[in-house]
């Protein structure tokens, strides 16, 4: 199963990465095993988002920068408004990083 390493940049991914870093640094864990854990995280996170999350969000804002490189879209929005079912958030500046969903199905 193909996975993205994209989600490693999320909070949960960063927490895992830091944990693994610490454990590898203290020789508690081998680097190889740490990488295996990260790969498993890529899979588990992707599956969880597909199967356990149903919410929809709409995003509006001023597109400050757009970039498409290596099949990854990057948008930097200014004064963005995020809406979902029960809340909305205003953000002065937000970065959106999106991988091509078609790459996962291949």
Residues 13 to 72 in contact with another protein, rule: CB under 8 A: 14-20, 22-23, 28-30, 33, 36-37, 40-41, 43-50, 52-63, 65-66, 68, 70-72
Least separation, in Å, of the C-beta of 53 and another protein?
A: 5
Query: Rounded to an integer, what distance in angstroms lies between the CA atom of residue 74 and that of residue 6?
Result: 12
Number of other CB atoms surrounding residue 82 within 10 Å: 16
Least separation, in Å, of the C-beta of 3 and another protein?
A: 8
Which positions from 77 to 96 touch another protein by CB under 8 A, shown as an x/- string? Answer: x--x-x-xxxx-x-xxxxxx
Least separation, in Å, of the C-beta of 6 and another protein?
A: 5
Torsion angle of the four alpha carbons 94, 97, 98, 103, in this order, in degrees rounded to the nearest 10: -170
Q: Which tokens belong to 27?
A: 């020789």
Torsion angle of the four alpha carbons 76, 72, 102, 40, in this order, in degrees rounded to the nearest 10: -100
């Amino acid at each position: 199963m193909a996975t993205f390493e994209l989600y490693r940049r999320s909070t949960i991914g960063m927490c895992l990465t830091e944990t693994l870093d610490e454990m590898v640094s203290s020789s508690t864990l081998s680097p190889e095993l740490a990488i295996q854990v990260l790969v498993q995280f890529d899979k588990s996170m992707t599956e969880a988002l597909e199967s356990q999350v149903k919410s929809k969000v709409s995003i509006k804002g001023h597109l400050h920068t757009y970039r498409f490189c290596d099949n990854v879209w990057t948008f930097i929005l200014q004064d963005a408004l995020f809406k979902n079912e029960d809340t909305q958030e205003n953000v002065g500046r937000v970065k959106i990083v999106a991988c091509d969903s078609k790459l996962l199905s291949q």
